[in-house]
Amino acid sequence: MKKILVTGGAGHVGSHIIELLVKDPENQVISLDNYFNGSTENHIKGAEYRTGHTKDIEKLIPETPDIVFHLGEYARIAPSFDDVEKVFDMNILGTFAVVEFCRKRKVGKLVYAASSTKFAIEGDGRHQSPYAFTKATNVDLINNYGRWYNLPYAICYFYNAFGPREKGVGKYATLIAKFEQIYLNGEEFTVVKPGTQKRNFTYVGDLARGIILTAEKGNGDGYTLSNTKAHSVIEIAQSFGGPIKYIDGYYGRAESGEAPNKTREELGWETTVDVLDYIKEFVKAHPRKNKPIESVYESKTV
Ligand SMILES: NC(=O)c1ccc[n+]([C@@H]2O[C@H](COP(=O)([O-])OP(=O)(O)OC[C@H]3O[C@@H](n4cnc5c(N)ncnc54)[C@H](O)[C@@H]3O)[C@@H](O)[C@H]2O)c1
């Protein structure tokens, strides 16, 4: 049996990783989640779920895993400004404990779900929000544990995940699921100005497959998991049929930047689903009673 720990296993991406891992009967899969943003609705049959903060990992995980997938962190950019104490507690204290756990237990490999935000603005992206800062700091920490202690690790960079089990309501909802809710409610699509900012929306199943492949074959930093095609937020809202309402942005919304790409070059990973096709399927499955009017595409500023 291979013992595999997934921190944040009750969250969006973590649940998809677990879904793939439990398919192999040789895997014993344990999730550690504090349910800050996770949900029991994301539980996958065949995995074991433990409740707790990663800073208590030593106590909560008496087993020595062969692999640790570390996703259990505060994971949203915009609200991180208000939640800075939580961000530092969950991401800095929590991740330090995870990294120490891996060092002391001689875990076979630590695989970290890093954020692409640090590549924005030629590397200044790491300073654009409390979230981006802690994610980039943890990449530095893990890289240094590799140098200082020969910790076996691999670092994956995620770009805007979308797909089943994505949260569409509440403070920690993410864009595609939020827009699905807006579409279903017949409301206006709120787009942060200018709306031309592009995002590499990446299908959650592709992310899960990519991080598992990286765990099997990757070493060190630089495993980007991103769709090569980027779409602007306006394009996304339009593909739902609009109408669009523009709102003022906030500090920290930079365009995503160039990242190293070992996942494609070394591992041959590719994405399989484009977000516009995904939205097209969603719209087809949920036809609106009233077709959107022409003026949808005329930007309205509030
Ligand atoms: N979703 C994306 O587009 C994206 C992009 C870049 C990086 N990432 C990273 O991928 C990971 C997963 O993201 P997601 O979108 O699935 O987020 P998510 O919020 O759905 O999942 C994170 C899970 O971790 C749990 N958690 C948070 N802090 C914890 C702690 N200290 N101890 C134990 N559990 C904790 C939450 O309850 C949640 O279930 C995160 O680390 C995030 O930073 C995600």
- At residue 123, the 3 state secondary structure works out as helix
Q: What share of the chain is helix, strand, coil (3-state, %, to 5)?
A: 45, 20, 40
| Residue 161 Cβ contacting ligand 1 at under 6 Å | yes
| Residue 158 Cβ contacting ligand 1 at under 6 Å | yes
CA of 11 to the centre of ligand 1 (A): 6
**pLDDT averaged per 10 residues in sequence order, the chain, 302 residues:** 97 98 98 98 98 98 98 96 98 98 98 94 91 98 98 96 97 96 93 88 98 98 94 95 86 68 93 97 86 44 31
Among the atoms of ligand 1, which is closest to the Cα of residue 89? Answer: 31
For the domain covering 2-297, report its CATH number. 3.40.50.720
Residue of 57, 71, 202 to test ligand 1 pocket, by largest number of atoms within 8 Å of CB: 71
Angle at 100 between CA 259 and CA 89, to 5 degrees: 75
Among the atoms of ligand 1, which is closest to the Cα of residue 167? Answer: 20
Among the atoms of ligand 1, which is closest to the Cα of residue 42? Answer: 39
Q: How far apart are CA 70 and CA 111, in angstroms?
A: 6
> What's the pLDDT at 250?
67
> What's the pLDDT at 249?
74
Are 242 and 294 in contact, with CB atoms under 8 Å apart? no
Among the atoms of ligand 1, which is closest to the Cα of residue 36? Answer: 37
| Torsion angle of the four alpha carbons 227, 142, 105, 95, in this order, in degrees rounded to the nearest 10 | -80
CA of 114 to the centre of ligand 1 (A): 10
CA of 7 to the centre of ligand 1 (A): 8
Are 256 and 200 in contact, with CB atoms under 8 Å apart? yes
In b/e form, how buried is each residue of 141-157, taking b as 16+ CB within 10 angstroms? bbbebbeeeebbbbbbb
Are 240 and 179 in contact, with CB atoms under 8 Å apart? yes
The Cα diameter of the chain in Å comes to: 62
pLDDT digits (tens, 9 = 90+) for 115-155: 999 998 888 899 999 999 999 999 999 999 999 999 999 99
Q: How far apart are CA 84 and CA 198, in angstroms?
A: 26
CA of 198 to the centre of ligand 1 (A): 22
**Are β-strands 244-247 and 198-199 bridged in parallel, bridged antiparallel, or unpaired?**
unpaired
| Residue 68 Cβ contacting ligand 1 at under 6 Å | no
CA of 291 to the centre of ligand 1 (A): 36
Say if residue 62 is preceded by a cis peptide, omega within 30 of 0: no
The contacts of residue 133 (CB under 8 Å, 6+ apart) are 126, 127
**Are β-strands 161-162 and 244-247 bridged in parallel, bridged antiparallel, or unpaired?**
unpaired
Angle at 274 between CA 273 and CA 279, to 5 degrees: 105
Look up residue 15 and give its amino acid: S
